[in-house]
């Protein structure tokens, strides 16, 4: 997919944000540092900065998502941008207009940025490879491929909680990602991010039916036994179990899954005493996580949501060139 | 439900706005006075004040409502707040996320205020009793329980039209609420508001099947005969007859209802000559009200809509502490 | 319909924008000139002007339309107005509230402008004839009647591309409108606009089944043969073929239509060498237009979208009186 070429400009600055794979470590750290500066905005009485005032951001959600769309919408509004929420199902694509014609139309309306969620892996890349030079594309989740802003907010949350990657050094943390890695774009993005930033040990934990073939080649240790997989972990990331997996060929039942892999207080004792627990949400209580853990003192699940807005503000303003540099002169395509 | 404890802070200032029942008279009058100061904003060339700039307000409408949602959205925008409209049916609750998890997630996004409409009585109270200390909850209608901003705009409209409660004195007005009191949260809130503010006589008028059992205990006089119930009334509030009541067990037919209880010009003559007519809308012409009355000179139906925005601006800014006092320092929950 | 009386005030200034028919030439040129001043706003880093700050614009779309609604929403936001998007199907009209009651309610909320799309011809006129004196109505398409902002953006695009009407002189251009004129409100508005501004020759080209009876009386030359109709044309406007026409009584098939009337590179050679090609969108590739033409160097289809926002900003700000004159004092209807 040549994501690297698409994601940065000639000087290595962020242009589109499509996937973690291939992004250089220094750039990931730059985004985390920028997010740090936005983390306080949500705490202020006036939760707004004028960095993207007068910009138009179009949320193109081909898959329904209240949570992710809302965080992108809030991030855009707190950057003072104008936001268009486009219900793609109801739009001209139902009149037979092609995706690229829809994009060209939105470009002609001088949209500055597309935030794209699509069920097809590679959709954001496809769009980024066709948009005009001055338009920016942010991937808000494409098929089973990547969900890169989620991975970044996971890194940010871990950094805030543990001090990892704070001094730009590597980390000796043991991180365990538990559950349905096979169908999870969050897991794929997390694995790339943690390996790029550097960790002590990165583990995936789950039944064979929910782990990709040859997942070891991604640079992870594989555990099918949760007791072993959680042993001495510093960070546990629980993945959501999709309803459609809970019955049928891949799993016997939700209850069975919870018995074996669900994160309970007892199972949590296998990890380090100061372990932190994360989950991309929405959580299935009693399926992949026990309420006592989800609501417990070691849970960072709400911190992830909170930092998600700061991280998205950082990605959006850096891609737009609003943050560390002045925006390059717009290429006058047609005038 | 201990609404009083939830609704005010330790110093008696408005915190959440959940129901009229239990609110002290002085606070109701304070809100009406504040609404007075906002009533002119809609008349200005620039219909905006910066009182809630940089605040995020989430409209959580579990029941569809264009009219009420629109007035809250406009009130928020005219206070310069950012507004999120959340379609709850389409949200993560359909993925099995619990209501409280949805709320926690929105809180983590630093939403400052939830405007809630829900089919279940007590929903707004439930939410208010679980939100973080710095978050505010406004009830936009819960089941058959209350619709408190509607009652306040009714009071405001009556005060503007008749001078009642203007000098903070009581009123000698005769107010008649006519129709389906049984299913009306508007009626319940109105009854509490008028009794708290003080009226000469408060009547409910309707067939037995549409009045609650022991409605007299709420402090009203009951009339089944509309001619008697409207006699010498100063204010008539007609209630909307829901379509589902018009056929079946409770009522013979819409036409029959109109014949007996519909407000016609002839029936209006029973009231005082300067009687005013109100209705929470949307009206059913020819069912509970004749068009000649709805569009007539004594009708205040559109004034109610107009003042509804001013009243909601008052409630929102007072609850947020933007109006008469500076906002208390945000408790730093987790940093 | 006495559109002229509705559309301008006593001094000939734009009040509502309902149809092209009957608008004086000087006013059309004034709007085009105003649009010229807005055309650069979309190119700026901050794409906003404060002309309608604090105004409330309600998009009332009784027919679904992502493209047109989005351009009006963007135009409003770039004028700094607050925008309400009302999903009319889901609103109180489904509770039996009449259209006029809905309008009265929105007026009472101090909406300044209604942008209306409706399936019934004359709907915008009906609304404009009933709104309060200070409210403005813009027609975003009514039945088969008119789509006047589309016609203006077509004129603006032609003026920019050819220099026509630039010096306020007439034009000697040959313009051919090709396709389903019968069902096209765009075609009707275009015909009125081009005839008012002055053209060398205005042609409609299509099969008899897709042309209105006695269309010649509108001041056009009729061609059934596309080769003759396109001969020496300066401007070709292709109309969208609605899916529902492609099968059944009016047309044998989409393929047959493309063979006879579809704009192909070969057929384009019949026109002048510097002909420009336009289409209101969304296009049906391979039905009314070949992709090589739609994406070719002579296509202005995306320019139309781009200028559509500038033209709508011009119409909205002129109707509101924000542009060349100060707003007249609001008549105090009820206070």
pLDDT range class, residue A96, cuts 50, 70, 90: low
Residue C101 buriedness (CB in 10 A; 0-12 / 13-18 / 19+): buried
Domain tally for chain C? 2
How many Cβ contacts (< 8 angstroms) between chains B and C? 75
**Using an 8 Å Cβ cutoff, are A316 and A55 in contact?**
no
Q: Contact C56/B77, CB-based, under 8 Å? A: yes
Q: How much is the pLDDT for A253? A: 86
The residue with greater pLDDT, B5 or A146, is A146
The answer to whether A326 faces chain C, any CB pair under 8 Å, is no
- Chain B residue at shortest CA distance from A309: B109
Asked if the structure places residue B140 within a domain, the reply is yes
Q: How much is the pLDDT for C267? A: 97
Q: How far is C54 from chain B (nearest CA, A)?
A: 4
How many Cβ contacts (< 8 angstroms) between chains A and B? 78
The answer to whether B334 faces chain A, any CB pair under 8 Å, is yes
Q: What percent of chain A has pLDDT over 90?
A: 77
The reply to whether B55 and B110 lie within a common domain is yes
Q: Contact A42/B84, CB-based, under 8 Å? A: no
Q: How far is A127 from chain B (nearest CA, A)?
A: 26
Radius of gyration in angstroms for the set of CA atoms belonging to chain A, rounded to a whole number: 20
pLDDT range class, residue C44, cuts 50, 70, 90: confident
Residue-wise pLDDT for C98-118, tens only, equals 788 888 999 999 999 999 999
In this predicted structure, the answer to whether residue A92 has a pLDDT above a threshold of 80 is no
Asked if the structure places residue C259 within a domain, the reply is yes
Residues 100-159 of C with CB under 8 A from A: none
Long-range contacts of B274-278 (CB under 8 A, 24+ apart): B274/B234, B274/B298, B275/B233, B275/B234, B275/B235, B275/B236, B276/B158, B276/B161, B276/B162, B276/B234, B276/B235, B276/B236, B276/B300, B277/B236, B277/B238, B277/B301, B278/B154, B278/B157, B278/B158, B278/B235, B278/B236, B278/B237, B278/B238, B278/B304
Q: How much is the pLDDT for B170? A: 82
Q: Which residue in the set C96, C109, C332 is minimally distant from B70, CB to CB?
A: C109
pTM score, whole prediction? 0.89
Q: Which residue in the set B46, B243, B282 is minimally distant from C92, CB to CB?
A: B282
How many Cβ contacts (< 8 angstroms) between chains A and C? 78
**Using an 8 Å Cβ cutoff, are A281 and B95 in contact?**
no
In this predicted structure, the answer to whether residue C93 has a pLDDT above a threshold of 80 is no
What residues contact B124, with CB distance under 8 A and at least 6 apart? B16, B18, B19, B116, B118, B137, B138, B139, B140, B142
Q: Average pLDDT for residues C189-204, to the nearest whole number? A: 97
Q: Contact C67/A91, CB-based, under 8 Å? A: yes
Q: How far apart are CA C33 and CA C37, in angstroms?
A: 7
Asked if the structure places residue B183 within a domain, the reply is yes
* Chain C residues touching residue A55 (CB < 8 angstroms): 46-47
The reply to whether C122 and C178 lie within a common domain is no
Alpha-carbon separation of residue C52 from B46, C31, C65, C76, C309 (angstroms): 8, 17, 24, 8, 15
Residue-wise pLDDT for A186-232, tens only, equals 999 999 999 999 999 999 999 999 999 999 999 999 999 999 999 99
Q: How far apart are CA B229 and CA B176, in angstroms?
A: 7
Residue-wise pLDDT for A304-320, tens only, equals 999 999 999 999 999 99
* Chain A residues touching residue B107 (CB < 8 angstroms): 302
The pair of three-digit structure tokens given for residue B171, joined into one six-digit string: 């009123």
Which residue(s) pair with C204 in the sheet? C177, C222
> Which chains are within 8 Å of A by 3+ CB pairs?
B, C
Radius of gyration in angstroms for the set of CA atoms belonging to chain B, rounded to a whole number: 20
Going residue by residue through chain B (335 aa), what tens digit of pLDDT does each one get?
Answer: 444 489 999 899 999 999 999 999 999 999 999 999 999 888 888 999 999 999 999 999 988 788 899 999 999 999 999 999 886 764 545 555 678 888 899 999 999 999 999 999 999 999 999 999 999 999 999 999 999 999 999 999 999 999 999 877 789 999 999 999 999 999 999 999 999 999 999 999 999 999 999 999 999 999 999 999 999 999 999 999 987 777 667 777 888 999 999 999 999 999 999 999 999 999 999 999 999 999 999 999 999 999 999 999 999 999 999 764 433 333 322 33
CA C290 to chain centre: 23
Q: Which residue in the set C43, C74, C282 is minimally distant from A95, CB to CB?
A: C282
* Chain B residues touching residue A302 (CB < 8 angstroms): 104-105, 107-108, 334
Q: How far apart are CA A285 and CA A292, in angstroms?
A: 9
Asked if the structure places residue C206 within a domain, the reply is yes
Q: Name the residue with tokens 């009581």.
A: B170
Q: Contact C306/A108, CB-based, under 8 Å? A: yes
Asked if the structure places residue B330 within a domain, the reply is no
Q: How much is the pLDDT for B323? A: 60
Q: At what angle do helices B66-78 and B301-319 cross, to 10 degrees?
A: 50
Q: How much is the pLDDT for A250? A: 76
Q: How much is the pLDDT for A245? A: 73
Q: Tell me what ipTM this predicted complex has.
A: 0.87
Q: Contact B73/C84, CB-based, under 8 Å? A: yes
Q: What phi-psi label fits residue A2: left (phi over 0), alpha (psi between -120 and 50 degrees) or beta? A: left
> Considering only CA atoms, which of B126, B110, B36, B21 is closest in space to residue B318?
B36
Q: How far is A91 from chain C (nearest CA, A)?
A: 5
Q: Where are the alpha helices (DSSP H) in B167-326?
A: 185-197, 226-230, 254-261, 265-268, 291-294, 301-319
* Chain C residues touching residue B280 (CB < 8 angstroms): none
Q: How much is the pLDDT for B335? A: 32
Supply angle C-alpha B130, B133, B135, rounded to 5. 80
The reply to whether C183 and C103 lie within a common domain is no
pLDDT range class, residue C324, cuts 50, 70, 90: very low
- Chain A residue at shortest CA distance from C287: A96
Give the torsion sign (CA, C184, C187, C193, C196): negative
The reply to whether A206 and A142 lie within a common domain is no
The reply to whether A20 and A69 lie within a common domain is yes
What residues contact A110, with CB distance under 8 A and at least 6 apart? A56, C42, C43, C47, C74, C306, C309
Asked if the structure places residue C330 within a domain, the reply is no
Q: Average pLDDT for residues C248-276, to the nearest whole number? A: 92
The answer to whether B329 faces chain A, any CB pair under 8 Å, is no
Q: How much is the pLDDT for A228? A: 97
The reply to whether A101 and A115 lie within a common domain is yes
Q: Which residue in the set B66, B283, B309 is minimally distant from C90, CB to CB?
A: B66
The reply to whether B311 and B299 lie within a common domain is no
> Considering only CA atoms, which of B268, B218, B255, B149 is closest in space to residue B204?
B218
Q: How far apart are CA C3 and CA C29, in angstroms?
A: 18
- Chain C residue at shortest CA distance from A321: C45
CB atoms closer than 10 angstroms to residue C273: 7
Q: How is the beta sheet containing B221-223 ordered, strand by strand?
A: B221-223, B201-205, B174-178, B235-238, B276-278
The reply to whether B64 and B126 lie within a common domain is yes
Q: Which domain holds residue A224?
A: 148-305
**The CATH number of the domain where C170 resides is what?**
3.40.50.1370
The region of weakest confidence among A120-134, C278-292, C314-328 is C314-328
Please report the beta strands in chain B, taking only residues with DSSP state E, as ranges in sequence order: 56-61, 82-87, 113-118, 136-142, 174-178, 201-205, 221-223, 235-238, 276-278
pLDDT range class, residue C334, cuts 50, 70, 90: very low
The reply to whether C154 and C293 lie within a common domain is yes
* Chain C residues touching residue B302 (CB < 8 angstroms): 104-105, 107-108, 334
The residue with greater pLDDT, C243 or C18, is C18
**Using an 8 Å Cβ cutoff, are C76 and C83 in contact?**
yes
The reply to whether B197 and B224 lie within a common domain is yes
Q: Contact B332/A74, CB-based, under 8 Å? A: no
The reply to whether B141 and B165 lie within a common domain is no
Asked if the structure places residue B51 within a domain, the reply is yes
Q: How far is B50 from chain C (nearest CA, A)?
A: 11
Return the DSSP state at C152: H
The reply to whether C114 and C197 lie within a common domain is no
Q: Contact B92/A67, CB-based, under 8 Å? A: yes
Asked if the structure places residue C270 within a domain, the reply is yes
Residue-wise pLDDT for C199-244, tens only, equals 999 999 999 999 999 999 999 999 999 999 999 999 999 999 987 7
Terminus-to-terminus CA distance in chain C, angstroms?
32
pLDDT range class, residue C189, cuts 50, 70, 90: very high
């Amino acid at each position: 997919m040549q994501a690297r070429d698409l994601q940065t400009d000639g000087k290595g600055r962020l242009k589109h944000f499509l996937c973690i794979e291939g992004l250089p470590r220094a750039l990931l750290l730059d985004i985390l540092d920028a997010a740090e500066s936005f983390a306080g905005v949500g705490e202020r009485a006036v939760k707004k900065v004028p960095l993207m005032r007068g910009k138009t951001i179009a949320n193109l959600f081909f898959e329904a998502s209240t949570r992710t769309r809302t965080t992108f919408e809030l991030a855009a509004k707190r950057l003072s941008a104008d936001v268009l929420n486009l219900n793609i199902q109801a739009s001209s694509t139902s009149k037979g207009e092609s995706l690229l014609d829809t994009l060209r139309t939105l470009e002609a309306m001088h949209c500055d940025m597309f935030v794209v969620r699509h069920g097809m892996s590679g959709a954001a890349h496809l769009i980024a490879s066709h948009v005009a030079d001055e338009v920016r594309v942010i991937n808000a989740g494409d098929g089973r491929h990547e969900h890169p802003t989620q991975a970044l907010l996971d890194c940010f949350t871990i950094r805030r909680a543990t001090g990892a990657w704070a001094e730009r050094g590597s980390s000796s943390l043991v991180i365990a990602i538990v559950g349905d890695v096979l169908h999870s774009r969050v897991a794929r993005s997390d694995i790339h991010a943690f390996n790029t930033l550097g960790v002590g040990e990165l583990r995936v934990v789950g039944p064979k039916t929910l782990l990709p073939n040859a997942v070891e080649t991604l640079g992870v240790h594989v555990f099918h036994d949760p007791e072993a997989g959680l042993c001495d972990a510093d960070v546990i990331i629980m993945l959501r179990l999709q309803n459609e997996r809970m019955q049928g060929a891949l799993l016997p039942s939700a209850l069975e899954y919870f018995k074996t892999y669900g994160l309970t207080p007892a199972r949590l004792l296998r990890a380090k005493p100061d372990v932190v627990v994360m989950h991309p949400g929405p959580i299935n209580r009693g399926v992949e996580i026990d309420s006592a853990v989800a609501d417990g003192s070691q849970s960072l699940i709400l911190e992830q949501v909170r930092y998600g807005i700061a991280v998205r503000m950082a990605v959006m303003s850096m891609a737009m060139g609003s943050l560390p540099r002045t925006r390059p002169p717009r290429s006058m395509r047609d005038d």
